[in-house]
């Protein structure tokens, strides 16, 4: 498939997305061939999974009250930045003269403004006050790992036959492996 190249994760991901129906068809054909030669039988199938960390900080997973508190803090910081920017503008106007550039926002204000907008959008999507959603990765959920640590994770699952032929694979944000 790769023609002896060593593609990175993005190339593989794009290939999978572009040729999903083809890959799905090949997967079914492989299972049929395995069944034809006796590697796959109707009967017991083992399912197992593992926890994989999401690319999301646990600190950004909040309920509605948490987002409201964060939003209040961000709006306070924006107010302080605007006050400071106004004071600097006045000082620079006195020092350099009126209307000399000054048409750019400070970087800190641009970042806080974008964060404020994202938090407000996130809050609109919350179904109830108890629901927790991560701002960075909305699908990631708190899942306990084997070592007992609870982090924002995903739970990839794999189904194999007695002969160790993979017949199913999926990724979920459900913590439980049991069906």
Query: What confidence category does residue 179 fall into, taking pLDDT thresholds of 50, 70 and 90?
Result: very low
Rg over alpha carbons for the chain, rounded to the nearest Å, is: 26
Residues 62-69: contacts with CB under 8 Å, at least 24 apart:
62/132, 62/133, 62/135, 63/126, 63/129, 63/130, 63/131, 63/132, 64/123, 64/126, 64/128, 64/129, 64/131, 65/129, 66/132, 67/119, 67/122, 67/123, 67/126, 68/123
Assess whether pLDDT exceeds 80 at residue 80.
Answer: yes
pLDDT on residue 2: 67
pLDDT on residue 53: 77
pLDDT in tens, 85-101: 888 777 777 766 666 55
- Unique residue bearing structure tokens 């017949």: 167
The whole-number average pLDDT for the span 50-63 is: 78
What is d(CA 55, CA 61) in angstroms, rounded to the nearest whole number? 12
Pairing state of beta strands 46-49 and 133-134? unpaired
Predicted TM-score of the model (pTM):
0.46
pLDDT in tens, 159-169: 888 778 888 88
Residue 80: φ, ψ to 5°: -65, -40
The percentage of residues in the chain with a pLDDT greater than 70, rounded to a whole number, is 88
pLDDT on residue 99: 63
pLDDT in tens, 137-147: 778 888 888 88
């Amino acid at each position: 498939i790769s023609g002896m190249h060593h593609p990175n994760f993005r190339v593989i991901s794009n290939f999978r997305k572009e040729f999903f129906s083809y890959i799905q068809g090949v997967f079914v054909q492989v299972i049929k061939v395995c069944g034809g030669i006796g590697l796959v039988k109707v009967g017991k199938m083992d399912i197992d999974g593992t926890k994989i960390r999401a690319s999301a900080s646990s600190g950004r997973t909040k309920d509605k009250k948490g987002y409201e508190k964060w939003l209040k803090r961000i709006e306070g910081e924006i107010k302080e930045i605007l006050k400071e920017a106004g004071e600097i503008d006045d000082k620079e106007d006195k020092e350099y003269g009126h209307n000399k550039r000054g048409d750019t926002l400070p970087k800190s204000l641009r970042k806080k403004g974008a964060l404020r907008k994202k938090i407000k959008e996130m809050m609109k999507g919350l179904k109830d006050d108890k629901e927790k959603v991560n701002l960075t990765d909305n699908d990631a959920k708190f899942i306990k790992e084997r070592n007992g640590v609870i982090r924002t994770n995903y739970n990839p699952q794999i189904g194999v036959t007695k002969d160790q032929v993979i017949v199913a694979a999926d990724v979920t944000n459900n913590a439980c492996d049991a069906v």
